[in-house]
Amino acid sequence: MASSPIDTSKEMKLERYNSYIRRLNSTKLIVASSKLLFRVTLLVALILIFFFIINYPPFTSSENSNPHHHNIHTTTHNLLSSSFYGGGAAWEKQVRHSSTPRRVNGLSVLVTGAAGFVGSHCSMALKKRGDGVLGIDNFNSYYDPSLKRGRQKLLAQHEVFIVEGDINDAELLSKLFDIVPFTHVLHLAAQAGVRYAMKNPLSYVQSNIAGFVNLLETVKLANPQPAIVWASSSSVYGLNTNVPFSESHRTDQPASLYAATKKAGEEIAHTYNHIYGLSLTALRFFTVYGPWGRPDMAYFFFTKDMVQGKPINVYVTQDDKEVARDFTYIDDIVKGCIGSLDTAEKSTGSGGKKKGPAQLRVYNLGNTSPVSVNKLVTILENLLNVKAKKNVIKMPRNGDVPFTHANITLAKNDFGYKPTTDLSSGLRKFVKWYVSYYGIQSKEVDSSNDHSQD
């Protein structure tokens, strides 16, 4: 008996129906996804437009701009700054507390590079005499950041707060000037070192030129405009052969990129003084040394290598003459910085417009007693009770100059600058700090030298 054919019509209809349902659901999913993607894109676009408007207001002149619009922009800008820079009441309270003077007619000073060698010493000295001090530092890794953190910790014990940030950050600087009516800025943040410029030249332009301009742009708009004292360098004298170096000598022959950026800073300072009425004082430091110093300096790495029994390279000139520096102890430099701050006249501008002539000064801060590098090594040998393993080599053509010698007559006449620490006394204090900070065993250092004369 033959079997009857199987009826597949119902199964086919069911399959077609299921296929239709799947296509319908897929279409709905695509439509829903498209709507969601459109809404997200629109939201992102609106956010971008909002931030563009906030950060780049219409290009209108100050004379024609709507003051109410400017106030709205400023208020919104401040709110954003608060959210981005640690903002909130606790952060602003630290900023205000640190920058508030504790003595009558005390200064309120923004110290850039406050975790640096000179910056930390100046911050401490200003705070101890009752001035308000707020620091800013980016804690970069040019040398061991742990040393900068150590200085930060020391300053925190004396209620000096350091904002962690970069002077190229215009938003952050504006926020700080919104919160604090600084009377002075001590600008010490910089990319230091002569030799490193051959490895990373752009870092010098970014910090020493762009960073300085960014700071000046912020200061010119501040109300009140603070007076600015800033670190130039003895390196600006470059290939000058007239000694001792005087502020009137030519400085148009820099021997290194570092020197060129510092010279550029002096010209930029002249421009902002001339156009905007900013009071500006440049200080040309001569080979600063002392406790909490920079590890890239010869006295510091000589000490490190001598303690570890490693050889050191001692340079002589191409014609075999000794290299000498006008070594200046940190406490003397601090006195010069504070003297400059105390005698700095007020800036004369307001709202970015000059109201009258403003003070513009340049000073040498040195010791006036050049000492050869060989003499430096001899002093360290006596203090460390170690015989140096010296490699005497020709000075490479890397931007270093063979001799520096400061004429400090101008600083002496204007604010009583008078260095009092000779190299032997200063190095004794440095070595005492060094062996304590790095935990050098007493057997490696002559204790009689370690604890004498402070």
Tokens (6 digits) for 74: 């400023």
Q: Which residues of 68-103 are buried (b: 16+ CB within 10 A; e: fewer)?
A: eeeeebeeebeebbbeebbeeeebbebbeebbebee
Q: Mind giving me the DSSP string for 145-202? A: HHHHHHHHHHHHTTT-EEEE--TT-HHHHHHHHHH---SEEEE------SGGGGT-HH
Residue carrying the six token digits 């170096």? 245
Residue 291 has, within 13 A of its CA and on its CB side, a CA count of 17
Q: Cα(395)–Cα(273) distance, rounded to whole angstroms?
A: 38
Asked if 145 contacts 123 with a C-beta cutoff of 8 angstroms, the reply is: no
366: helix, coil or strand? coil
The total number of residues written for the chain in this structure: 454
- Annotated catalytic, 258? yes
Give Rg (Cα) of the chain. 31
Residue carrying the six token digits 């051959």? 198
CA distances from 304 to 12, 236, 296, 315, 359 (A): 89, 29, 11, 18, 43
- For residue 279, the Cα-to-chain-centroid distance in whole angstroms is 20
The residues, ordered by sequence, that sit 6+ positions from 169 with a Cβ below 8 Å of its Cβ are 214
Query: Which of 143, 196, 204, 258 is labelled catalytic?
Result: 258
Query: Which are the catalytic amino acids?
Result: 258
